[in-house]
Structure 1
Amino acid sequence: MRACLHLFKFLSLSRSFTPKMFGFSKQIRSCSSAPTDRSDQLRSFLELCMDRHYVSPGETNSDLFQRGLSCSYGPLGTELRRNLLEQWWHSVTRGRDIGSAQEQRGAHPGDTTAAPKVPNCENKSTDGCLAAVRPVVGAGEQKASLRPGGDGSVLPVFSCFCSAEITQTSLVWFCSPRTSSQWLDHWTRQRLKWWKKFALSPSDFSSIEVPKQELEDAASRGVRILYNFPWGSEALETLWSRGNAELLREHKGARSKLQCRDGQKSVPHVVSISGNMDRGVMAFLSNSLQQLKREEGRQKLQQRKVLKLHPVLAPVKVALNIGRGPAVELRQVCGGLLQEFLEAKIFTWPGYLETVPTSAEQQSAKYDEMGVLFSVVISENTLENGLVQVRSRDTTIRETMHISELRNFLSRYISAAENI
């Protein structure tokens, strides 16, 4: 029997959710239970997220963020979550893992569907906005009629409910009854590999079997993908081997409706994956934060915080600043570069528009904490010979480059990081 694939992405921000509904039973807990000796570390981390525009200030936002729930994100947090969702969608619809998995299991290779763009719900009413191909299971009282296509094709279903609580991604995979356990193991390896791909410290991500007493109804096995936060492990994704009971119940036992198109008479089994992307955002922020100590002069230690987010996830790729020279002309050059980068979809921070004067060291410290990959200084040298100074977040090395090379340099760097 060929593997049958049904795939949907579900972004749900529901007021009336329960942890069990999303596969995170006994995992969502307030960080107020964190050990006392780690409270300062947690407080410092949350302050950094608010100061550097990842989370909007306020105790309510801080509490929601700690619990892995949707909060009011700042501009960088919004962009980070968008990048994470795009990478997730790419990995389960167009990634090499899907094609190789289908070929290995005998499914029809080569059938793919282009991923729709993530709807921007940040500015929509909290009463709810819906952009869906069809209703999906788990969206409040809504249900979907799940029926496998049987041809190995990717069938994306895309919904967004904006009313404030959780951002969830979901994958449903239909397969032969005799291979369901193998598929659960396969997807566990692939999902863990995906989370570790973007991590600065991959060992903080792990997987664990769900104890039998915690299995959901109709599930024969379950696996959780965990991240080891300073206060303890939390689930990022939960995978279930659900058998065929839900399909039969949904279609009132009409087996003829559930048979795949390849002629097999057995009812497919279901492997499902549910992910909490709000907790994923927090996991990558926590995982990427480094506190480095550097000795300067005699017995003088300087602490440097760096948010070393993966280049693909980092919200800000480059920051533009001005050095010595005629301010008006330098700002004009920066404005031209900003437009050029935006056209190339390179998210840019317009540091040249800031009115509070800061030193080069203060600027670098700020951009390191924001996770900015590169900072560029436009100066009188740029006006004279087209040269700019480029500083790397990860190496702190400053190098000189011609202004005409910047766009290609950044594009190549980001593209290379995507392919690793």
Structure 2
Amino acid sequence: MLSHCMKRFRICCVTRSIQTHTGNRHKTTACLSEEDPDPTRALLQLCVDGHYVAPGQVHSDLLQRGMCCNYGPLGLELKTTLLEQWWRSVKRSRSTQVFGISTPLQTHHRTSGEEGDPLVVDVKILNQLLLDAEELSKAQIIQRIQTLLRLSTSLRTNLLQGALEQYSSWVELVNRRLPFGLAESGLSVQPLDGSRGEATHTSLVWFCSPQSSSQWLDHWTRLRLRWWRKFALAPSEFSSRDVPEKELQGCASRGVKIVYSFPWGQETLENLWSLGDSELLQTYDGVRAKIQCRDGRKLVIPHVVSVVSNMDRGMMAYMHNSLQLLKKHDGKQKLYQSQRKVLKLHPVLAPVKVALEMGRGATLELRQVCEGLLQELLEAGVSAWPGYMDTTSSSMEQLNTKYDQMGVLFTVVIDDKTLESGLLQVRSRDSTVRELKHVSEVTGFVRRYVRGAHNM
């Protein structure tokens, strides 16, 4: 018994395809990532330099492993946008009813009863138990450990169980008619080198008739793969594959993985499982009357299709997929020796749409124009970077390099011409083309650009 208790006792204390972009001044071609001796390290360093991840090897390692880390302001914005787009995709799917739910990371009620669940225990009680161990009998130690386990909270390792527990409330809302789904996003505790880490998961638990579960698994696989590819620069690097029968987990009868091809190999972004009815029956102690639904005129026990994504690893996939190393050509096809590192994140995902800089002119007046435009952009929901506040002396070429590596869509330069005529210079990240626009047109132009990219 003692060994059984101790077993349960856990303390939770860059570039790929060749592409050509044509502009008014330059033509650029992508250089293959294999030319970089360590493209992974280059990407991780870019994540730090571009304010996506906090400095420190530990944070870069966690990101590479698909775990939560300390994100910088741009990384947090990218992650937030990814989650928003996920919610939009599952809530607005045609002919489906999907409801959002929220379940706690910690709970005292451990319905799953899995011995591997990590626990949070009171350290003071644990220390006292260790101090008293020599004076206690075996039976007393067992009793103390059992008490400690009862007082401990369980940390979830997935979002499935919470959805199953909420099923009984939502099934009444839909008048016991199938199909419908419960969606959630949040943290889950994951194994990490003998310890524990956290990952941001999204979960859709889909309840359907037994006869249609296989078709629904195929349906969600198509939709989810299409979603991952929608925001990709190189969509072919996102793919799906069936899980071999010998690799099926638990009660799953079928499984599909959506994977991304990193330099070090394929990693799973999303798992889709057809789980049958056993998980639901186990959650409700086999009481069929609580969980039965109508399938036409028949009463059936719903089958469960689980769709789970790792958004931390998804971020890393999009960062790698978007990174390009570009060499410039002039109009005579002469190759420049310098390279441009460009993070070509999809316009919808780009954390910063506009960077504002000041050119030559009256500093006070230019700053006022910058602040006015910044406020207008933010009020319109357009994320902007106030580069004009940085007092470090940098050339425009250096600033363009910096913003390309940050993935900024447009760099706007406000100078003395703006004070005279209202015209300012707008540079595109993707084409490097510079064009003049009136200050009153900038916000609308950027919004239309992003909206158009989203609808493609």
Q: TM-score, normalised by structure 1?
A: 0.79
1:270-327, CA deviations, whole angstroms, 9 ceiling, x for partnerless residues?
A: 1001110000000000000011111469764221111110000000000000111011
AA of the residue aligned to 1:373: L
* Counterparts of 2:387 and 2:216, CA distance in 1: 48
Once the two structures are superposed, the pairs formed by residues 81-96 of structure 1 within 5 Å of their partners are 81-94=79-92
Among 246, 249, 255, the alignment partner of 1:216 is: 249
What is the count of residue pairs matched by the alignment?
Answer: 359
Alignment correspondent of 1:269: 303
Alignment correspondent of 2:408: 372
* Counterparts of 1:37 and 1:381, CA distance in 2: 42
Over the residues paired in the alignment, what is the CA RMSD in angstroms?
A: 2.8
Question: Conserved in 2, the CA contact under 8 Å of 1:206 and 1:226?
Answer: yes
Alignment correspondent of 2:39: 41
Question: Which runs of no fewer than 5 residues in structure 1 stay unpaired?
Answer: 1-14, 17-35, 103-110, 118-126, 128-134
Q: Post-superposition shift, 1:82?
A: 0.4
Alignment correspondent of 1:237: 270
SS of alignment partner, residue 99 of structure 1: coil
SS of alignment partner, residue 440 of structure 2: helix
* Counterparts of 2:101 and 2:291, CA distance in 1: 27
Q: Post-superposition shift, 1:390?
A: 0.4
SS of alignment partner, residue 411 of structure 2: strand
SS of alignment partner, residue 70 of structure 1: coil
Residues 1:213 and 1:154: Cα distance change in structure 2 (over 3 Å): closer
1:340-373, CA deviations, whole angstroms, 9 ceiling, x for partnerless residues?
A: 1111111101110111111111111111111100
Tell me whether 1:406 sits opposite 2:437 in the alignment: no
Residues 1:378 and 1:43: Cα distance change in structure 2 (over 3 Å): same
Residues 1:191 and 1:155: Cα distance change in structure 2 (over 3 Å): closer
Question: Which runs of no fewer than 5 residues in structure 2 stay unpaired?
Answer: 1-10, 13-33, 103-119, 121-154, 190-195
Q: Post-superposition shift, 1:154?
A: 5.6
Alignment correspondent of 2:312: 278
Residues 1:358 and 1:407: Cα distance change in structure 2 (over 3 Å): same
* Counterparts of 1:295 and 1:180, CA distance in 2: 54
Once the two structures are superposed, the pairs formed by residues 295-334 of structure 1 within 5 Å of their partners are 295=329, 300-334=336-370
* Counterparts of 1:68 and 1:37, CA distance in 2: 25
1:92-122, CA deviations, whole angstroms, 9 ceiling, x for partnerless residues?
A: 012xxx224x4xxxxxxxx566x799xxxxx
* Counterparts of 1:181 and 1:142, CA distance in 2: 23
* Counterparts of 2:206 and 2:41, CA distance in 1: 40
Structure having the higher strand fraction is 2
Among 287, 298, 321, the alignment partner of 2:321 is: 287
AA of the residue aligned to 1:377: V
Q: Post-superposition shift, 1:260?
A: 1.6
Q: Post-superposition shift, 1:138?
A: 2.8
Question: Conserved in 1, the CA contact under 8 Å of 2:242 and 2:255?
Answer: yes
Q: TM-score, normalised by structure 2?
A: 0.73
Q: Post-superposition shift, 1:42?
A: 1.1
AA of the residue aligned to 2:54: S
Question: Conserved in 2, the CA contact under 8 Å of 1:93 and 1:154?
Answer: no
* Counterparts of 1:343 and 1:139, CA distance in 2: 35
Alignment correspondent of 1:30: none
Q: Post-superposition shift, 1:140?
A: 11
- Determine what percentage of the aligned residue pairs are the same residue: 55
* Counterparts of 2:379 and 2:238, CA distance in 1: 35
Residues 1:136 and 1:180: Cα distance change in structure 2 (over 3 Å): farther
Once the two structures are superposed, the pairs formed by residues 14-413 of structure 1 within 5 Å of their partners are 40-94=38-92, 98-100=93-95, 102=96, 138=158, 144-145=164-165, 146-147=167-168, 148=171, 149=174, 150-151=176-177, 152=179, 155-157=182-184, 165-261=198-294, 263-295=297-329, 300-413=336-449
* Counterparts of 1:280 and 1:398, CA distance in 2: 32
* Counterparts of 2:421 and 2:36, CA distance in 1: 52
AA of the residue aligned to 2:212: T
Q: Post-superposition shift, 1:250?
A: 1.3
Question: Conserved in 1, the CA contact under 8 Å of 2:186 and 2:201?
Answer: no
Return 260-269 or 54-63, whichever deviates more: 260-269
* Counterparts of 2:380 and 2:188, CA distance in 1: 30
AA of the residue aligned to 2:90: V
Question: Conserved in 1, the CA contact under 8 Å of 2:184 and 2:204?
Answer: no
AA of the residue aligned to 2:158: G
Question: Conserved in 2, the CA contact under 8 Å of 1:220 and 1:243?
Answer: yes
